[in-house]
Amino acid sequence: MSTLVIVESPTKARTIRNYLPSDYRVEASMGHVRDLPQSASDIPASVKEEKWAQLGVNVEANFEPIYVIPKDKKKIVQQLKDALKDATELVLATDEDREGESISWHLLQVLKPKVPTKRMVFHEITQEAIKKALKNCRTIDEQLVHAQETRRILDRLVGYTLSPLLWKKIAWGLSAGRVQSVSVRLLVNRERQRRAFRQGSYWDLKAILEQGKTPFDSRLVTVAGVKVATGGDFDPNTGQIIAGRQVRLLSEVEARELRERLLNKTWTVTDLEERPVTRKPAAPFTTSTLQQEANRKLRLSARDTMRTAQSLYEQGYITYMRTDSVHLSEQAIAAARSCVEQKYGQQYLSPKPRQYATKSKGAQEAHEAIRPAGSTFRTPKETGLGGRELALYDLIWKRTVACQMADSRQTQITVQLQVEDAGFRSSGKRIDFPGYLRAYVEGSDDPEAALEDQEVILPPLKVGDHPNCRELEADGHETQPPARYTEASLVKTLESEGIGRPSTYASIIDTIQDKGYAQMNGNALVPTFTAFAVTGLLEKYFPNLVDTSFTSKMEQTLDEISSGEADWLPYLRGFYLGEKGLETQVKEQESQIDPNEARTVELENLAAKVRIGKFGAYIEAENGNGVVTASIPKDVTPAELDPEQVEVLLRQKTEGPDKLGRHPETGEPIYVLRGPYGPYVRLGDVSEENKKPKQASLPKGVNIEDVTLEMALGLLALPRTLGAHPATGGKIQASLGRFGPYVVHDQGKEGKDYRSLKSHDNVLTITLERALELLSEPKKGRAGAGKTKKALRELGDHPKDNEPVNIYDGPYGPYVKHGKTNVSLPEGQSVEEMTMEAAVELLSAKESTKKSGSKSRKSTSSTKSKSAGTSSSSKTTKKKTTASTSTKKK
């Protein structure tokens, strides 16, 4: 008698196998085994001639989906069928959310088991949880399956009906989607706000005062009893003070005059207020808050966060990672409180266990928040994890433990000072008791460092005191446009607006970038001109589909279907086939949409037209001799394209590039150009003899108009040899790379040691001494990168090159490493039994495979190359200029 258990992944299968009796066999389905057809070749021959066949959904017969087994899943399905032949019982143990329920249902339909079948669910993979789940198996929840099926059908109808329209009217390969298109519109609207933004300038004064030898800052707030203007007083659309605001806007001249008038005058404390503040810890992680924090703290994309969390869950380190709930079980609360007592002491424990209520309307996925698995929480050090997995587990552990810690008690201190008719304000913060901040500070990497940053210490002051003024500066500021969305802020907005499911946000953000609707600039998502064109078309002809409230209401209806409050079939009929249904709208509107108009992006204050072409966005303008077109460089965003840039691009196209001068040695002309990847300088003309003249990109922050002949010569001479390293004799050079300017030390066989230049360093003038200083600094790893891995076993030196051969533990099991070659241990081979001879044989086989693979890749790439063609809209301010004179220096 044996039981077959089916889960989604091999990792989950390996982990769960440890907690099941010996007569249980665990296999992986590798995700879904059936889905709607993905291409025309997947459509069954029996329905290929039907007009709805491309949709994969029979809209004429109660929206019946046509499910097929993808080619890459046929072998897996056969393996599962073979395994089922020897089983006397089948247990479907896929994830406990809608998606997991749907996978189990599809397995049931495909395998058609003749043995008793059970559905087993759990939200963590621990011995206790698996034993409990085995005793409490149930049947498949048809209502959950129905809800998931309706969602899948709806997404297919929207995507497969609108996408072909975009291909015809704008460009091939574009796509539309129920959540995707709304997300793109959010990015586009923010970029429109940035384009409409008008900068405002204002000045104020900043003082450094001293009381009892303790310095503190103070900022001008009033003059003659009238509030001084700050960034929040400006209208972002005009750059002027908002109408009706009773504030005084200081010019540079007025600020300097005021400063001169206040020098050497008496400062007096006129008021002092201390206000106690209590802060409570944030709730434990849900899917969306984990994505947000991992993006802010670890710089992980939503996709990387979910992949890493999935791996941690499947290995049994955390509970299920797709959840809208902030609820914690009694077991989890007890485990978290135990951690607090052991690590921080009784005084840091909250007086009563904390339980959090889920605010999300549609929260229905898993039963608990994301937390460390088990009835006792392993500390990050105890896990043996490394890299991203350790960083993410550490984040989850800290957040969970912090939620059961005492409140943080702080005192906000505000001091008002007067000097002549000018009012100044100093603000301080004292942390009376850190509480949960000792373990976790939201948005900060290091709680200890964050505590120091949060605390602003003011000296003991009282009304009537006369602090000394050490320095007084006139500060100029400029208002800043609304920040672009990051992955974190986009996820937060989508969730707060009730659009889509948090578990799908990672794939949506990926799709937006894959389809060319957005590109990452640092940590910001910047919409492309294509995004503007597609959003413009959808807003004009299908406004409901990109309206946040309409999409949110659609999500609500889908949740009502899952709970049985709404009927799925009438809803789908009305949405797709009704008088105002999507199919009818597309048929009516298609003839009304002019492709030339659809491919044109209208931008304010721009005489030239921006169009979407086969190879990307380009400018089109009349110049008296006809129409001139010029490609828009990829680094130019819709918000930044202005008449001056258009003029440069068009002049470069008609008159050729701007000539800076000639090379003093060769006499060749030197040009400054703007290319598809940004501005650069070029030496010489393109000719038959010189098909690829030497060129060099401009350093970040250097504008075309700032480039001089001397700078161009320096850039074209890179890399610069600075000299030899005193310890190794190795060559040290300075150059520019894809990640900016750097210095490199050639260490021979040891390889090359790189360091990025700091913001104040200049790649053209950096000295050998400064390069050595940078190279002596420890190399900074990527966010989330772990320390050097410790080998499970050291086999010795390789007989050919005497380089070490070691065995390490990896995400897919133990592997042998030699130099840059890694090879997994064969199935059934233990770490202890592996010999040097066997390792050398494995490495040799891998090396030969790599060489042959590299040859085939070169051949393929050669063939291919021949055929191929911030988080909110609030205004912040930054320092513009500083006119500073220290009274002490005077």
How many other CB atoms are there within 10 angstroms of residue 885's CB atom? 15
pLDDT score recorded for residue 851: 53
Cα–Cα dist 268/211, whole Å? 11
How many other CB atoms are there within 10 angstroms of residue 189's CB atom? 18
How many other CB atoms are there within 10 angstroms of residue 294's CB atom? 28
Query: Global pTM?
Result: 0.77
Cα–Cα dist 68/41, whole Å? 11
| Catalytic (active site) residue 320 | yes
Q: Which of 42, 46, 112 is nearest to 77 (CA)?
A: 112
* Pairing assessment for the beta strands 408-419 and 422-433 based on DSSP bridges: antiparallel
How many other CB atoms are there within 10 angstroms of residue 197's CB atom? 21
pLDDT score recorded for residue 890: 31
pLDDT score recorded for residue 592: 93
DSSP string, 410-441: EEEEEEEEEETTEEEEEEEEEEEE-GGGGT--
| Alpha helices for 197-284 (secondary structure H) | 252-262
pLDDT score recorded for residue 749: 79
Residue type, 498: G
The answer to whether 6 touches 91, Cβ cutoff 8 Å, is yes
pLDDT score recorded for residue 3: 94
Cα–Cα dist 890/885, whole Å? 8
pLDDT score recorded for residue 452: 58
Cα–Cα dist 600/540, whole Å? 13
Cα–Cα dist 881/186, whole Å? 34
Residue carrying structure tokens 């009012």 = 423
Cα–Cα dist 368/321, whole Å? 9
Query: Which entry of 19, 313, 317, 320 is annotated as an active-site residue?
Result: 320
Cα–Cα dist 56/675, whole Å? 43
Q: Tell me the sheet residues that pair with 600.
A: 611
Angle between helices 180-196 and 505-514 (to 10 degrees): 60
The answer to whether 188 touches 531, Cβ cutoff 8 Å, is yes
pLDDT score recorded for residue 403: 96
The answer to whether 823 touches 796, Cβ cutoff 8 Å, is no
How buried is residue 756: exposed, middle or buried, by Cβ count under 10 Å (0-12/13-18/19+)?
A: middle
Q: Which of 770, 717, 775 is nearest to 746 (CA)?
A: 775
Q: Which of 879, 781, 871, 805 is nearest to 390 (CA)?
A: 781
**Under the phi-then-psi rule, with left for phi > 0, alpha for psi from -120 to 50, and beta for the rest, what region is 384?**
left
pLDDT score recorded for residue 501: 86
Residue carrying structure tokens 């997300």 = 183
Q: Which residues of the chain have pLDDT under 70?
A: 1, 359-366, 443-453, 655, 658, 676, 780-790, 810-813, 827-830, 832, 848-890
